[in-house]
Structure 1
Amino acid sequence: MTQQIYPVNSARRRFLISSALLGGGLVLGHYLNVVDSAQRFIGKPEDELPSSGFRPNAFIRIRPDGKVVLISKQPEIGQGIKTSLPMVIAEELEVSWEDVIIEQADLDPIYGSQSAGGSRSTPTNYEEFHQLGATARTMLIQAAASIWNLPAGELLARDSAVHHIASGKRLSYGELAETAATLAVPAKDAVRLKDPKDFKLLGTRIGGVDNPAIVTGKPLFGIDVQLPGLLYATYVKAPAFAGRVIGANLDAIKRLPGVRDAFVIEGTQNLKGLLPGIAIVAESTWAAFSARRQLRVEWNEGQVAGQSWSGFSAKADELAKQPGQEVLRDDGNVDKALKEAAKTVQATYRYPFISHASIEPQNATAWFKDGGIEIWAPTQNPEAGQNIVTEVLGIPKEKITLHITRSGGGFGRRLIPDYIIEAAAIAQRVDGPVKLTWTREDDLQHDQFRAGGFHYLRGGIDKNGKLIAWHNHFVTFSHPVYKDGVATLQLGSGANLSGDEFPGRWVENCRLEYTALECGIPMGPWRAPRSNVFAWVFHSFIDELAHAGGRDPLEFRLEILGDKAFLPGSDEQTGIPYDVNRMKHVLQYVAEKAEWGKKPFPRGRGQGIAFHFSHRGYIAQVAEVTVSPDGKLNVDRVVVATDIGRQIVNLSGAENQVQGSVIDGLGALLFQELDIEKGRIVQSNFHDYPMIRIKDAPTKVEVHFLKTDYPVTGLGEPALPPLAPAVCNAIFAATGKRVRDWPLSRSDLGWS
C-alpha cells in the first residue's frame, strides 16, 4: 500500500513538543495501525484514525548535542539489519554516519512487524524508512528557514546540519531540534526523496555497528544477560520427543551444592512449545549442569520411540511405488511422453534431517513479578514468544515485556519460541530472575530441524535433447499439531512442495505429487526453507538430463526457461510473478564471469552451474572443483551473480551475506546429517555432527551484484540454494560420478 503523509493536528503537534521536552531534542515517529501492521502512516490526524487506535512510534531522536539516535526494530541475528536499515534513514536524513547512535528496540506493537525471517526485513521496510528520513530532513530544513526567515528552497541539508550556501550560515541538527519539534509533519507532496544517484551512504561499505563490541567481548547476546540476584537453570526433556516424566530423583538433586530447586513441568505435546521436562535451578550454570548429570528420570516415551530414519527410508521406497497422496500438478501426459522419449532418466535423491547449529545455544532470561513477566531473549520472532507466554501461562500481553538481544546465529531456529516459554514457565516458580541456558546437546537434539526428504524422479528428452517430461514423487514428512488437545497432521516446515516449483511450469508434460510420512520429530525453517534442498535436487537432475541428451548444461537451462517474460506465482512467494528474463540475465552473467565453457579442464577438475529464485532474489552460481583420484574434494572457486533489485544498501553486509551463504551451504552439503533411532537424535555434539572448517571452505568466492530497476529485497537466504547443485554438478563434470545422497561424506568421489 502506498504510504500516505498528512499534516498533523494540534494534538499531534503537542505530542512532538512534549517528546522534545522530555527527551531533549526532536523525536520523529510514525503511526501504526496496530490491527493491520501492513498499513502505516506518518502523523495521521486523529479524526481519521480507525477505532482500534494508533500509537506513536519514534524511530528518530535528535539530541541537543547533535547525535542522532536511530531505532533498529528488527532482531539482529548476524544478517546486518541493525546496521543496514538505519543506513536508509540516515541517507535521507543527510546525517553523518559518525553522528548516528543505533539502539535496539524492545518488542512493541508500535513498531509493526519485528520478526527476522524470510529475508523480509529489507523489502518490507526499505521504502518506508526512506520516507521517514526524508520527512525528518524536510522538517529540519523548515526549522532553519523559520529561524533565519528564509525560503526553505534556498537551504540545503548536509552532514548533520542545514546550510544557507549563499550566506554561509549553518545550523546543526542539534541546534534545530527544539524548533523542528514544534512543526507540523509535512504533507507527502512537500517531501522530496533523494535521487539514488546522489546517495552518499547507501551502496558503500559500512562495518556492523556491533563489531567493536563483538571483537572486544562486550555483553550483547542473550547468553550474556546479567541481573542482580540472577539464578541459572537447565531444562531436561525426554530423549524421544514429547515424552512425559514418570519419576525422577528430585529430592537428591535438591540437596546438591548450589541447587536451589528442581521440579517437573507437565508441559504440552506441542512440538514448538513447552514440552514436558524437569527444571533444575541453581546459583550458577555450572551448578545446574553438574546437577543435571546426576539426574535420573523415568520417561513415558510414547509412540515416537518407535520411529527411525532407517524405517522412514524403507517406507519411502515402498510408498514411491504407489500413487502420491496428493497431486500438485498434472499437465499433459507424463507416462506417454516418457514412453515416447528418445532418452529417459530415473533417479532418487535423499537428504536427511539437519540442525541449525547456531554458535549461541538457545537461552532466555525471565523475571516473574507482580503478575507480569520481563523476558530477555535472542529471538527472531519476539511476538511469537509473547504469544506463547500468554497462551500457555495466561499472562496478558500488556504485562509481558520482551527485550530483544542480539542472537549468536539464527538461520530460522529462533523463529520458534520453545526456549522462551521454557524460561518463562521456570520463572513462575522462582523468586527472582532466572536464566535458562541449553547445553550444546540440547541445542542439537531438541532443535526444530530441517526436514529430510526423498525425491523419486523421472525425466524424458526428445531426439533433439529437449526436456519433454518431468515427474517428481516427493515423499516428505508431517507432524502432529495440537489445538485444544486435538491433533491434526501438518506438513513440516520446508517439507511442502509447491506445484509452481521449477521446472514444473516450464515442462509440457509434468506431474508433481507428494506423500507424507507421519513423524514425531519437530521441524522448523532452516535458512531458505524448501529452496535449500529443492534447488539441489532439481538442478542436479536437470544436469543429469542435460548430459543424457548431450547438451551443454547452461544452454539446456536457458532453453527450459524459454521466452515467456513472466510466469504467475513463484517458487517461494506465491503471487509474485517469476521474472524469466531476470533469471536468464543472472544465469548468462554468471556464465560470462566464470568463463563457462571457455577453458578446458583436465580429468579431476570441473565446473557446475545452477540457479534458483527464492525470497524475491534471483541467484545463479558456478562452482569449480578439484577432486583427487582418492576422492578428496576442494572447491576452488564459486562465482555468484545476484539480482536483488535497484540498490545494495550496505556493500560490506551484502557481500558478507553471499559469502556466508556459500560457506554455510557448502558446510551443510559436505557434512551435516542427523540419524534418528527410537524417536531420538543420535548425534549429540560437534564431535559427531561436524561443521565446516577453514580448510574445507572455497578457495575463492566472487560476488557480482546486478543493479536492476526492481524493488530492493533481502539477501540472507536466496544466495544459499544454488551452491549445493553447482558443486555436485561440478563433481560430476570432474569425475563422472553423480551425487544423489546428502551429505557428500556419504559418497565415494574417488576416480581412476
Structure 2
Amino acid sequence: MSGSLEISRRSFLSVSLVGGAVLSFGAWLALSDEAEAGSSGAMLNAFIRINPDNSVVIGAKNPEIGQGVKTMLPMLIAEELDVDWEQVRIEQTLANEQKYGRQSAGGSRSTPVNWLPMRQAGAAARSMLVMAAATKWGVAFETLTAGSGMVRHAASGRTATYASLTEAAVKIAPPALDAVPLKPDSAFRIIGTSRRGVDTPAIVRGQPLFGIDTELPGMVYAALEACPVFQGTIAAVDDQAAKAVKGVLAVVPINTGLVPKGSFDALAIIADSWWTAQQARSRLKVDWDTGTLTQFSTEAYAEQADTALAQAPEAEILSKGDVEGQLSGAARTVTARYDYPFLGHCTLEPQNCTGLYEDGQLTLWAPSQSPERGRQEVAAMLDLAPDAIKIHMTRIGGGFGRRLMNDYMVQAAQIARAVPGKPVKLIYTRGDDMRHDYYRPGGWHELTAGLDNEGRLVALKDHFVSFGADGEPVRAAELEETEFPAQIVSDVHFGATYLPTNLPTGWLRAPTSNAMGFVFQSFLDELAEAAGVDLPTFVLRILGEDRLLPKVGRANQFNTGRARKVIEEVCTFANWDAKRPSGAGGRGRGFGFYFSHAGYFAEILDATVSEGGTVKVDKIWVAGDIGSHVINPVNALHQVQGAAIEGLAQAMIGQKVDQVDGAIVQENFDSFPLLRIEAAPQDVAVTFVTSPFPPTGLGEPALPPVIPALANAIYAATGKRIRSLPMQLQGQTA
C-alpha cells in the first residue's frame, strides 16, 4: 500500500458541525495546519457524513467514466458502516490525493486498491458509533449490534440512531484501521447485490453532469486551432479578421503540451459563445513550422515495417533457451505475420475543460481520469504551486484511456489565465478530438513457433515492430516479456524494432492487451490447427498443472489454475465441441483467452459470414475470474458486455486512423465508425468464476479475448485467416 493511503488513528477522525450534530469520518484525510499544530476539531472533507435525519452522505473519490466506481466504492463503505443503501446519498469529492489517496480511473485499479481501505473506513466509523452507545448506556461493546443506521441493545430493547450518537462518537479515539473487525462475507447485505448507478436517473433525464455541461455565471468560451502536424509550431499569425468578429474577446497563443515550454503550437479564440469562437476560428490565417515532420505517414510506416521485419530485431525483450535449435529440430514450424493500426479513442463527449483564474488561484472543472497528474502538468506549465489549483471532477462522457492524458486541462488553464476573473470553457470539435488524440500505436509481428511430434509448443519467436526511439517503445507500444505463453514455454525470443513517429501515443482500454490478445491468441489458433486440436485444448496443454508463475517486474502474477477454470467454464457455458468446426453454412465458432489487469477471461463467439463477406456476430459467451466478489453484479454485467462490444468495434468495422504528411486525416464518425446497434450481437452471456483471491477490476480485462475469438470464428466459417486489423475478408488468405 502506498504511503498516501496510510493513516494514523489521530488523523482518522474529523468533525464538521453543520445544521446540528453532523459526524464526518475522514479516511486518509491529511491534517490541516491547525490540526498539525495540536488543535483539535479540524473541519475537513470526509467520506462519511451522517445528517441529523439519519441519512448518510458518502463521498465518491475516484473519477466516474461509466465504469460504475461512483456507486461501487460507496457500496463498500456503506456495507461496513451498516446502513441501508436507501439511506445513502453519494457526492463526488474534489480532486485531492493528500486527503483521499489515489484518485484515478485507469488500469482497472479502483477495486483492488480500495477493496480493504473503503471497507475499513466504514467499519471504523461503525465501531465508534457502537462504542458511543456502549458508553452512553453503560453496557459492554460486545452486547451491541448495528444495522440500518441504528445501534441496538437486545437485552434491554434500547435503540439509538447513528445521528443521535454523533456528539458522543466524535470524542472517542478512532480504532486502528488495520485492526478494526470487518464483516464476514455471509453478513454482506450490499456487496454482491445489484445497485443502479447513482447518476443513471439524472443521465436519463438529461441533467447536466458531464464536463461539457459546466455552466458558470459570466462564462466565456474557447475554440482551439492547433497545428495539424504534431510537434509543429506557430511560424506566423494573421488574426485580425478573427478578432473583428463581434463577440470575440481575445486570440491567445498556447502550448498544447506537445512542444517545449515557451513554444506555441495552437491558438485559442475566446468569445462570448462557443459558436462565435468557432466561426472566428475559420478566419484565422496561420503559417505552421512543421519542418521535416510531414515525412510521417501510414504508408511510410508500413514500408519501414516491411524492411525491419526482413532484418534482425534492433532491441531484445526476452531471450531464454535455444530457440533456433528447438525450431530447427521441431516436427513442424508455423510462421505468420500479424498487424494492427493506430487507433483513436473517439469518446462521445469531446475533450473539454473549464477554468477560472483569479488572484493567482486556478479552479478547474475537468473530466479527467487522472486529475492529480493533470494538476502537476498545469502547475509546471503555468509556474503555479500545485496547491493553488483546485479541481472539480465532473462525470466523464467516455474515457477509454484518453482522459488519462490531461492536455485539455493544460490548455484550459492557459486560456483561463489570459482572461482572469472570467470562467472559460474550452470545447473541442469532433474533428479536433479525432485529429488531436493520443493514439493507440500500431504494430507488426512476425511470429514463428515449433511443435514437437505430439503437437506441443516447444519454441516461440516474435519480431515485434512498433514505435519508439533509442531502443525504447513509446507509451503503450510495449510487448511484455510475460506475454502469454512466454513464461511457460522454455525456449522463447522476443525482439523489437522501433520506428520513429511524431504522433503522441496513449493508453486505450486494455492497453497493449487489446492488440496482443488478437495477435497471440490468433496465432495460437494456427498452432492448435497444426497440432490437430482445438484452441481451448491447446491452451490447456500449455498451462499444465495448477501453479502460480513467478512474478516478473510490475506485471501481475499469472495463476495457471485460474486460467484453466475460466477456459473450462466458458466451454461448458457455450457447449463447445472440441472438434474443429467445419464452417458449414458460413457459420463459425471461435475461442479466445486472455489475462490482463489481474482478470482472467475466456470467450467464445459465434459468427455468420455471408457469401458477400459480411460478418454477423450471433452470440458471445464470456467467463471471467475477478476474484472472490463481484461487488455490483448488474454493473459488472454491463462492463463485460460493453467491453466485448467495444472490442468488436475495434476489429470489424474499419476503425483506424491514417496519417498523411504528418497529420491525421479522420475527422468524424464517417471515417472512424462506431459499432451500430444492429451490428452488435443480440446476446453477450456472462458468467463469473469466483476464486479465493481479493477482487480485482473489470473495466478492461474482458475486452482482449473477443477480438481473437472473432478472428478465429471467421476462420472456422470461411477458411480465411484474419491477420490484419481492421478485419477485411477480401485479400485475406488461408
Provide TM-score, normalisation by structure 2: 0.94
- Structure 2, unpaired ranges of 5+: none
Aligned match of 1:41: none
Give the letter aligned to residue 81 of structure 1: V
Aligned pair in 2 of structure 1 residues 623, 603: CA closer, same or farther (>3 Å)?
same
Aligned match of 1:578: 558
Cα displacement (A) at 1:518: 0.8
Aligned pair in 2 of structure 1 residues 277, 546: CA closer, same or farther (>3 Å)?
same
Aligned match of 1:625: 607
Aligned match of 1:79: 67
Distance 2:725 2:180 in 1: 54
Q: Deviations over 1:628-656 (max 9, x none)?
A: 22211111111111111111111111111
Distance 1:188 1:257 in 2: 60
Secondary structure of the equivalent of 2:338?
strand
Cα pair 2:120 2:178 within 8 Å, conserved: no
Secondary structure of the equivalent of 1:506?
coil
Aligned pair in 2 of structure 1 residues 45, 365: CA closer, same or farther (>3 Å)?
closer
Q: 1:568 aligns with which of 536, 550, 553?
A: 550
Cα displacement (A) at 1:56: 6.2
Aligned match of 1:468: 458
When the two chains are superposed, the root-mean-square deviation of aligned CA atoms in Å is 2.5
Distance 2:686 2:697 in 1: 15
Secondary structure of the equivalent of 1:474?
strand
Aligned match of 2:308: 319
Q: 1:166 aligns with which of 151, 155, 159?
A: 155
1:668 aligns with 2:658: no
Aligned match of 2:363: 374
Q: 2:171 aligns with which of 159, 182, 188?
A: 182
Secondary structure of the equivalent of 1:607?
strand
Distance 1:417 1:357 in 2: 15
Cα pair 1:272 1:522 within 8 Å, conserved: no
Cα displacement (A) at 1:435: 0.4
Distance 2:650 2:146 in 1: 48
Q: Higher mean Cα deviation, 25-34 or 452-461?
A: 25-34
Q: 1:392 aligns with which of 376, 381, 388?
A: 381
Q: Deviations over 1:216-242 (max 9, x none)?
A: 111111101111110000111111112
Give the letter aligned to residue 733 of structure 1: A
Cα displacement (A) at 1:472: 0.4
Cα pair 1:735 1:749 within 8 Å, conserved: no
Aligned match of 2:711: 728
Q: 2:504 aligns with which of 518, 522, 526?
A: 522
Q: 2:492 aligns with which of 493, 510, 515?
A: 510
Distance 2:681 2:310 in 1: 39
Aligned match of 2:110: 121
Cα displacement (A) at 1:549: 2.1
Cα displacement (A) at 1:46: 9.4
Give the letter aligned to residue 226 of structure 2: K
Cα displacement (A) at 1:564: 5.5
Aligned match of 1:228: 217
Aligned match of 1:593: 573
Aligned match of 1:484: none
Cα displacement (A) at 1:337: 2.2
Distance 2:106 2:706 in 1: 20
Q: Higher mean Cα deviation, 429-438 or 151-160?
A: 151-160
Secondary structure of the equivalent of 2:222?
strand
Distance 1:273 1:438 in 2: 23
1:354 aligns with 2:343: yes
Q: Deviations over 1:568-590 (max 9, x none)?
A: 236xx725321111111111111
The alignment-based identity, stated in percent, is: 44
Cα displacement (A) at 1:515: 0.6
1:677 aligns with 2:660: yes
Cα pair 1:6 1:45 within 8 Å, conserved: no
Distance 2:699 2:526 in 1: 29
Cα displacement (A) at 1:164: 2.2
Cα displacement (A) at 1:541: 0.3
Cα pair 1:30 1:56 within 8 Å, conserved: no
Cα pair 2:28 2:101 within 8 Å, conserved: no
Aligned pair in 2 of structure 1 residues 99, 331: CA closer, same or farther (>3 Å)?
same
Equivalent runs, 1:101-112 vs 2, <5 Å? 101-108=89-96, 109-112=98-101
Aligned pair in 2 of structure 1 residues 5, 191: CA closer, same or farther (>3 Å)?
farther
Distance 1:516 1:703 in 2: 38
Distance 1:86 1:648 in 2: 15
Q: Deviations over 1:305-345 (max 9, x none)?
A: 11111111111111112111111222222223222222222
Cα pair 2:462 2:493 within 8 Å, conserved: yes
Distance 1:490 1:423 in 2: 32
Cα pair 1:7 1:45 within 8 Å, conserved: no
Distance 1:497 1:67 in 2: 50
Aligned pair in 2 of structure 1 residues 749, 470: CA closer, same or farther (>3 Å)?
closer
Cα displacement (A) at 1:147: 2.5
Give the letter aligned to residue 361 of structure 2: G
Secondary structure of the equivalent of 2:418?
coil
Distance 2:681 2:264 in 1: 40
Q: Higher mean Cα deviation, 117-126 or 149-158?
A: 149-158
1:238 aligns with 2:231: no
Aligned match of 2:434: 444
Cα pair 1:374 1:402 within 8 Å, conserved: yes
Cα pair 2:16 2:43 within 8 Å, conserved: no
Cα displacement (A) at 1:731: 0.9
Cα displacement (A) at 1:149: 2.5
Aligned pair in 2 of structure 1 residues 400, 112: CA closer, same or farther (>3 Å)?
same
Aligned pair in 2 of structure 1 residues 268, 565: CA closer, same or farther (>3 Å)?
closer
1:89 aligns with 2:71: no
Cα displacement (A) at 1:122: 1.0
1:426 aligns with 2:415: yes
Cα pair 2:345 2:400 within 8 Å, conserved: yes
Aligned pair in 2 of structure 1 residues 31, 564: CA closer, same or farther (>3 Å)?
closer
Q: Deviations over 1:209-264 (max 9, x none)?
A: 00111111111111011111100001111111121112233011001122111132
Secondary structure of the equivalent of 2:617?
strand
Cα displacement (A) at 1:292: 1.7
- Structure 1, unpaired ranges of 5+: 35-43, 48-53, 480-487
Secondary structure of the equivalent of 1:743?
coil
Distance 2:344 2:535 in 1: 32
Cα pair 2:331 2:450 within 8 Å, conserved: yes
Secondary structure of the equivalent of 2:450?
strand
